[in-house]
Amino acid sequence: MSENLNKNTFLEKIFNYEKSKDWKFNGELPTVIDFWAPWCGPCRIVGPVLDELSNEYKGKVNFYKVNTEEEQELASVFGIQSIPSLLFVPMDRQPMMAVGALPKDTLKSIIDKDLLSLPVPDEHEHHHHEHGDNCQHC
């Protein structure tokens, strides 16, 4: 399940914007933060998908939720204008924001590529390597 963040836990676990204007991530794992609200229809679609992903990526990626109704300051710090908005936080780079109810496959590929830096298979390139599959030279 995704843990709900309030301002205090956000400052502690994610980014203390009261201390520093420059992004400095306090987390121990790459993180996805779902900015949502109870009245938002698409948010109800994204929520369960993120819960599934939080199980699939357990121990690799942390998942959090921010209720923008209750945490308006956090929403304004990130300039959230439409929800759901998802903040993807890699360990060593600037965070990225995606807006809208993205399908699970899209979320997985963003997590794999941008948060975990896994090689994402390119569907258009199926060239066979002449030295066989176990060759280390590529």
Active-site choice (43, 75, 107, 115): 43
Q: 81: closest CA among 101, 102, 100?
A: 100
Phi first, then psi: what are they for 68, rounded to 5°? Answer: -70, -20
Active-site choice (14, 32, 33, 40): 40
Pair 54, 4: CB distance under 8 Å: no
Annotated active-site residue 43? The verdict is yes
Q: Give the type of residue at 52.
A: E
Residues whose CB falls within 8 Å of the CB of residue 15, separated by 6 or more in sequence, listed in order: 23, 24, 25, 26
Catalytically active residues are 40, 43
